[in-house]
Amino acid sequence: MCIGCRACEQSCAQRWNLPWNEAVGNEERLSAHKLTTITTHDGRYSRRLCMHCQVPTCVSVCPVGALQKTAEGPVVYDAGKCMGCRYCMTACPFQVPVYEWSKRIPRVRKCDMCRDRQLAGKLTACAEACPTGATSCGERDALIAEARKRISDHPGDYYPRVYGIHEVGGTSVLMLSAVPFEQLGLRTDLPGQPLPGLTWAALAHVPDVVSVGSVLLGGIWWITHRREAVARAEGPEGERES
């Protein structure tokens, strides 16, 4: 349903007090001054923005709690807590968070799904500005039901899958497409389970590894020092016999 008008980009820029003009519109990538972008793929349009994962990897790796998943759905960022480690940028499976490299006091920047507007009972700025209804805002379960209804009612118009239901445990941003999602530049190689769960599953074995390693190292230390102790006890004669 997207016609590439970029009204969502302009409304997002206005909401965040960021610059927007034709040159910015032509930048089809996320940046510190562009928190959502329309991308073009063989004459088709798609959008990129924070996916607001149900179990966000960025939140799990943040050592100071600067990123939090809210009960309403948005993943929000507190610049006052951020220490600039940028682990979130490395961990995000969608490569969404960006950094203000040119600022003297830089911050991480990302879409927060207009949490303040939603708490006030309003739509997100991008959904409100969209002239065709390509972007909708509402409860996740209701949006999933609507997406499946559209696919069922018009099977010839849609690729038969809703992107975001299962990817990395599910996301709060969902997408429909007329073509396979990889043709729109979206990742389709992501696991179905939340990535933080995979991390904790691996870390759960760390105590075992540490314990076994400690025993082995302790054994090596004991053997080495036992030999030295035996050599000292035997004295020079023992050393000559050996």
User: Where residue 139 sits, what CATH number does that domain have?
Assistant: 3.30.70.20
218 with 180, same domain: the answer is no
CA angle 206, 212, 217 (to 5 degrees): 120
pLDDT at 154 over 90: yes
Contact 56, 46 (CB under 8 A): no
In a domain, 2, yes or no: no
Predicted confidence (pLDDT) per residue in 110-147, tens digit: 999 999 999 999 999 999 999 999 999 999 999 999 99
146 lies in the same domain as 107: yes
Residue 94's nearest CA partner among 42, 46, 26, 142 is 46
**How many angstroms from the chain centroid is the CA of residue 63?**
15
Compute the mean pLDDT over every residue in the chain, rounded to the nearest whole number: 88
Residue predicted with more confidence, 110 or 241: 110
- Is position 164 within any domain? yes
Least confident of 29-38, 115-124, 179-188, 189-198: 189-198
Cα–Cα separations (whole angstroms), residue 213 to 77, 219, 222:
39, 10, 14
Q: 161 and 211 share a domain?
A: no
- 135, 230: one domain: no
Residue 97: per-residue pLDDT = 97
- In one-letter notation, the amino acid at residue 166 is H
Closest among 44, 20, 35 to 107, alpha carbons compared: 35
List the domain range (segments joined by +) for residue 225: 205-241
Name residue 66's amino acid: A
97 occurs within a structural domain: yes
- Is the same domain home to 132 and 215? no
Q: Quick one: 134 and 44 in the same domain?
A: yes
Domain co-membership, 176 together with 67 = yes
One domain for residues 143 and 212: no
Q: Does one domain contain both 227 and 115?
A: no
208: pLDDT confidence band, cut at 50, 70 and 90?
low
Both 176 and 85 in a single domain? yes
d(CA 205, CA 208): 5
- For residue 166, tell me if it sits in a domain: yes
Same-domain status, 112 and 161 = yes
pLDDT of residue 57: 95
> Does 145 map to a domain?
yes
Is residue 16 located within the same domain as residue 88?
yes
Q: Does residue 1 form part of some domain?
A: no
Counting the structural domains of the chain, the total is: 2
* Burial class of 126 by CB neighbour count within 10 A (0 to 12, 13 to 18, 19+): buried
Cα–Cα nearest to 197, from 163, 168, 166, 164: 168
